[in-house]
Structures are given as structure tokens and as C-alpha cells.
Structure 1
Amino acid sequence: MQAADQGNATDLDGRDLVIGIVRARFNDAITSRMAEVCHAELLALGVQPKHVTTITVPGALEVPIALKAMADQDDYDALVAIGCIIRGETYHFELVSNESGAGVTRVSLDHQVPIANAILTVENEAQALARVEDKARDAARVAVEMANLMDDLL
């Protein structure tokens, strides 16, 4: 067992990684921008364009099943979930937020593949727009860092 603390070293070298992105189409203006920013950050971290696959699903509840299909292929070092859930007047917000989050986590744990969860859960469109750039960039960085960490651990 190594005595080194691997938690202090951030490995953001994406040169040898294959990353999959699943984007929910619901709230398209927000999620399409998030996908663009995430993709650009992945390329900036060295991931080759041919090693980034983006698929689109109708909404946040469909994200986990698409992530599972990608994880089943065993071709991806990490995945990214992109979506935007804006609170409405009914309980539906909580249902979609909770179930999509639980689904993303389940796929990650079941397949031992890191998934950066960039599904925004916000009160209104203004909050979503304020978070698009940072959340998408962070998701790319989390995907690369965790893929490298898992490679070291497994």
C-alpha cells in the first residue's frame, strides 16, 4: 500500500482518455451551451476530439439510462451528465431532481465509472444561466481528474 496521499495531486491530463457526454434536450438553450463549454474544456485538457462522444436524450430522467448504455460498452474512462431542471409549481421538480441524481449515482457505482453530474437543479432560468459556464467547465475537469484517479486505483 502506498503511503502517498493521492487526494492532493490533481491530474488533469486528458490525453489518453475517452469521455462520453449525455445531454438532456429539455431546456435546450442551457444544456446545449453547457455541452459546448464542457467539450471545449475537455479539448483544452488534452482529450482528443475523436475521443469525445456526445449523445442527446429528451430530459433529465432519461440521462441515467443513456449513461448506463455507454457504461455497458466499457469504452469510456469517464462520463458527464448534462441537464437542467428548473423548479415549477408542482412536485415534479423534486421527483426529476431526485430520481435523475440517484440514477446517475447508481450507474457510476454499478459500473465503477466516474460520472461528473452537471445536471443543474435551480429555481429559475436566471440561476441556470448564471451557472452554465462554471458547472460545465467543472464537469469536464471532474471527469478527467476522476478518470485518472480511477486508473491509478484500479
Structure 2
Amino acid sequence: MNIIEPDLNGKQLRIGIVQARFTNEIGSEMLKVCHRTLLDLGVADEDITVATVPGALEVPLVLQNMAASEQYDALIAIGVVIRGETYHFELVSNESGAGVTRVGLDYNIPIANAILTTENDEQAVARIEEKAADAAKVAVECANLVNRLLEEQFDDEDE
């Protein structure tokens, strides 16, 4: 049995981050935590690119363009959608989540989805640290895993 162990070494990885600015105080804090965690994992500051968009619905489009550039090993989506009094919460939550997933699958690139969906501001604030740090770890671990699997695939084709 061949077991691939998790690899959280971010050296040599290029990471793209898309942050939704709606509810910007929370998103900005998440970006700080995510950035700090990526640096702690060994990702070089010059290998991190951050783009901001108005809201969660715009995140997938920019992720798609980043993925299409083939300049990144992994991407991270950051933002927060807080329930309001209308159905708009469900629409934004569902569509942004589906869009993020589709981009990752269509372009075969890991995307850590750290777009919070909460009932209120307090729930969002309580999740900033953990969700943002987790997103950085997921991006690095999955980038290393996908890169390794691709290397093994090419090695098998060469034999």
C-alpha cells in the first residue's frame, strides 16, 4: 500500500487569493490570518497574489481567470455571506460555493473555500481565525498532493 502523507511545506508554491470585500472588516481579518499562515508554512510573500472583488458572487470569475493563467499551484476564496431577511443569502451562498467548486474541478486546481456563511456577524467573527488558517493549510497541502500525483502520472507515462 502506498500512502501519501500530508505535506504542509509551502516552499516553491504559488498561491492566489480572491477576497470578497462585502463585509470587508471580516474579510480583511481573514486575509491577514491566511497570509500569516501561508508565510508560516514557507510560502514566499512574492509568491502570494491577492485580488479583491465586490462580493462572493464575483469570486468564482476571478478564481477562474487565475486558474486559467496556470500561474498558481492553489487558490483560496475568502469572504463572508451573512443571512439577511430575504432569500438572497441562499442564492449567494449556493451560487458562490458551486462556482468555486466548478472552477477547481474544471481547471484541476485546489481551491480552499473560506467563504463563511453565517447567521450573524458574531458567528462570522468567531470563525475568522480558524477558517482562514485552515484555508491556507488546505491550499498548501492540496497543492503539494496534486503536484505529486501529476509528477507520478508523468513518471508512469515515461516508463
TM-score (norm 1): 0.96
Please name the residue that 1:73 is paired with: 69
TM-superposed deviation, 1:10: 1.5
Pairing of 1:85-124 with structure 2 (within 5 A): 85-124=81-120
Query: Matches of 2:3 and 2:55 in 1, distance apart?
Result: 39
TM-superposed deviation, 1:51: 0.1
Alignment partner of 1:20: what SS?
strand
TM-superposed deviation, 1:56: 0.2
TM-score (norm 2): 0.93
Confirm or deny that 1:125 pairs with 2:121: yes
Superposition CA RMSD, Å? 0.5
Please name the residue that 2:142 is paired with: 146
Please name the residue that 1:31 is paired with: 27
Confirm or deny that 1:5 pairs with 2:8: no
2:16 maps to a residue whose letter is G
- Cα deviations by residue, 1:77-119 (Å, 9 ceiling, x for unpaired): 0000001000000000000000000000000000000000000
Of all paired residues, the percent bearing the same amino acid is 63
Within the candidate set 43, 48, 52, 2:44 is matched to: 48
TM-superposed deviation, 1:5: 1.8
Pairing of 1:9-24 with structure 2 (within 5 A): 9-24=5-20
Count of paired positions = 150
Alignment partner of 2:112: what SS?
strand
TM-superposed deviation, 1:32: 0.5
Structure of higher CA gyration radius: 2
Please name the residue that 2:156 is paired with: none
Query: Which structure 2 segments of 5+ residues have no match?
Result: 151-159
Query: Matches of 2:79 and 2:33 in 1, distance apart?
Result: 13
Query: Matches of 1:5 and 1:43 in 2, distance apart?
Result: 27
Query: Matches of 1:129 and 1:87 in 2, distance apart?
Result: 14
Query: Matches of 1:130 and 1:105 in 2, distance apart?
Result: 25
Query: Which structure 1 segments of 5+ residues have no match?
Result: none
